[in-house]
Amino acid sequence: MERKEWVHAMKAFISHATQDVSQVRLLVHLLHRYNIETWCCLLDLKAGASVKTTVINSLLASDKLLVIVTPRACGSCWVTLEIATFENLKPTCEIIPLMFEPTDLEKISPGLSSYPGIDFATNFIVGFQKLFEKFNIEFPESPDRRERIERRKIKNRRGNGDRRSQNIAERMNLSLWKSYSQSHRLTEDEYVSLTDYELNLFLESIRQEARKFLCYDEHGNLYNMEYIVHLYANHLWSYFRANVYDSQSHGVRAKYIPYFLAKKLTNEYLIKCEDRRKKKDRRAAADRRSNDKSYIGC
């Protein structure tokens, strides 16, 4: 994927509750991808620095205040303080509530509901499109290309003779489920809550396993697998909340999460297993060279 280069003078301050780690990391990753500077306590506060002084200086240097809206933010005195400080220091600058979960904005900060917010709870992709419009940037459309691009047939995307390329969705599902279930001792019949905390646990548990797969688009461009998994997992979480949520169990069956994630990724991208045999061959060759005195002496 070709990355366009933009030069933006804007800098965004991200106000968030400490628990909302997954939202912060995803937001920062995408903003940096489009050369938008950010500052947030989670990633930018240096050890030993004065928190209050650093926050005030960072607010002064920012053009927009992005508030991650979740129920956790209601109990964060720092979020409330950052909003009030920004209103006083930068009254002409924009405050944008990013509504990741249904929350009473007035419980976070009095008057916050008067600012137009962006809904991320319904659809992550649409939410990011609206956010980037605030920075005069055209955010890429939804990765769901089935309605926009004529998809190639499976026989044209994968070599039928390669066993490792067949049933890749099943291979990915089993791989992710094994890592997820073993990390948290889950059975297929267990339910997990659809909180952002559980989402973060899921992403952390499959991080290493996901790296064993390679992700390509229809043009053969290699994607960052960790980024793609993070993006689609957040989108999947929103889908579950809207369509698969079980009111009695207050969640969704654990086995559905890696299954639908693998199915979505293999439908939208060409997924391949990393060839570990080639890695072993390269490592063995390197070991032979290191042990070969005649080679070392050359």
CA distance readout (Å), 214 to 145, 156, 211, 253, 295 = 19, 17, 7, 27, 34
252: confidence class by pLDDT, cuts 50, 70, 90? confident
Q: Which burial class, exposed, middle or buried, applies to 227 when counting CB atoms under 10 A from its CB (0-12, 13-18, 19+)?
A: middle
Q: Which parts of 127-221 are beta strand (E)?
A: 191-192, 213-216
Instruction: State pLDDT tens for residues 199-220.
Output: 888 888 888 888 888 888 877 8
Sorted by where each starts, the structural domains of the chain and their CATH numbers stand as: 11-133 (3.40.50.10140), 154-278 (no CATH)
Q: Is 97 helix (H, G, I), strand (E, B) or coil?
A: strand
Contacts of 198 (CB under 8 A, 6+ apart): 192, 251
> For residues 67 and 112, is the Cβ–Cβ distance under 8 A?
yes
Instruction: Say yes or no to pLDDT of 247 above 60.
Output: no
> For residues 253 and 188, is the Cβ–Cβ distance under 8 A?
yes
CA pair distance 83, 109, nearest whole angstrom: 7
Instruction: State pLDDT tens for residues 15-40.
Output: 999 888 888 888 888 888 888 899 88
Rounded to 5 degrees, what are φ and ψ at 73? -70, -25
Instruction: State pLDDT tens for residues 59-72.
Output: 999 999 999 999 99
Write down the pTM of the prediction.
Answer: 0.51
Q: In degrees to the nearest 10, what's the CA dihedral of 100, 70, 231, 261? A: -90
Percentage above 70 pLDDT, the chain: 78
CA pair distance 217, 109, nearest whole angstrom: 43
pLDDT of residue 143: 43
pLDDT of residue 119: 92
Q: Is 10 helix (H, G, I), strand (E, B) or coil?
A: coil
Instruction: Say yes or no to pLDDT of 114 above 90.
Output: yes
Instruction: Say yes or no to pLDDT of 285 above 70.
Output: no
In the beta sheet, which residues pair with residue 253?
191
169: confidence class by pLDDT, cuts 50, 70, 90? confident
pLDDT of residue 207: 87
For 10, how many CA atoms within 13 A lie in the half-sphere containing its CB?
22
Percentage above 90 pLDDT, the chain: 18
Instruction: Say yes or no to pLDDT of 1 above 60.
Output: no
Instruction: State pLDDT tens for residues 183-198.
Output: 888 888 788 888 888 8
Structure-block tokens of residue 181:
């279930």
154-182: average pLDDT? 69
Contacts of 293 (CB under 8 A, 6+ apart): none
Question: How is the beta sheet containing 222-223 ordered, strand by strand?
Answer: 222-223, 213-216, 270-273
- Average pLDDT score over the chain: 78
